[in-house]
Amino acid sequence: MQIIDGKATAAAIKAEIAAKVASRVAQGHRAPHLAAILVGHDGGSETYVANKIKACADCGFKSSLIRLESTKETPLDLAVLMAEIDRLNKDPEVDGFIVQLPLPHHIDEQAVIEAIDPSKDVDGFHPVNVGRQSTGLPCFHSATPAGIVELLRRHNIETAGKNVVIVGRSNIVGKPLAAMLLQKGPQGDATVTVCHSATPNLASVTRRADILVAAIGRPGFITADMVADGAIVVDVGTTRVPDSSRKSGFRLSGDVDYENVAPKCSAITPVPGGVGPMTIVSLMLNTLQAAEARD
């Protein structure tokens, strides 16, 4: 059984990006610039944004963090957020930007996503990028699915002709991953099944998977009886579960019952250290792509 090391793979890719950036800068180009808007103080979002800013430094990018306050007493005015998005859309010094999700409940996330200029939408969530991705056109690929595909590619895991079962149909993981793996050509050509909460006899479907992807958000949901012997398992889940032995008071748990599933697999991604670091690297690759498009 092979443990697919997303952390090491991500570090190798960041080094490749940093070398490209150094050569760009030596040729007189600007370093790529990623901006992030963070609304409020959600613990998970604070960590994700801090990791993205750190990855920018690792890659030689410039980064900017724009914090907008929102509390129960003084909820953020949508117009303020939209004005910030408009400013970043127009700023020639910013190659790409993200609005960290989730947003407070009173804000319409889809309206926010659609306000971002698709040429700066390095999260790949704008309908223009989603549509271009599903038709196989050049675009910013959604970061987590792109990270998974790259992780498989770098571990010589072929998708062509394989039965891939994805549990979870979110707009940021399940659906775009299905679209990517379905494409004709390298890193595609899979037969893809997407399952969700209304799928009957889920275990009978997941057991048919050569490659099983769990993107559910329920710790330990995929148990050993749901996995075929020799399957490749990709665990996208990252749920914070209380853990008093940790300084933070929590640990990250995947959607796969790792201890019992891993011995059955030919390869598996751990949590943490699997898909998570690859997601951030995909964001860096999209930002580099955005900067190159602006040369």
**Would you name the residues annotated as active-site residues?**
52, 100, 123
Q: Which of the residues 120 through 179 are near ligand NAP (CB under 6 A)?
A: 144, 167-170, 172-174
Interface residue with ligand NAP among 276, 281, 285, 290 (CB under 6 A) is 276
Task: Answer yes or no whether residue 237 interacts with ligand NAP by CB under 6 A.
Answer: yes
Least distance between ligand NAP and beta carbon 272 (Å): 8
Task: Answer yes or no whether residue 29 interacts with ligand NAP by CB under 6 A.
Answer: no
Q: Which of the residues 55 through 74 are near ligand NAP (CB under 6 A)?
A: none
Residue pair 139/133 in contact (Cβ under 8 Å)? The answer is: yes
Query: Residue count at the site for ligand NAP (CB under 6 A)?
Result: 25
For the chain, the distance separating the N- and C-terminal CA atoms, rounded to the nearest angstrom, is 45
* Window contacting ligand NAP (CB under 6 A); options: 26-34, 50-58, 195-203, 225-233: 195-203
Least distance between ligand NAP and beta carbon 278 (Å): 7
Amino acid identity at 251: R
Residue nearest to ligand NAP according to CB distances in the complex: 170
Least distance between ligand NAP and beta carbon 271 (Å): 8
| Interface with ligand NAP (CB under 6 A) | 144, 167-170, 172-174, 195-199, 202, 215-218, 236-239, 275-276, 279
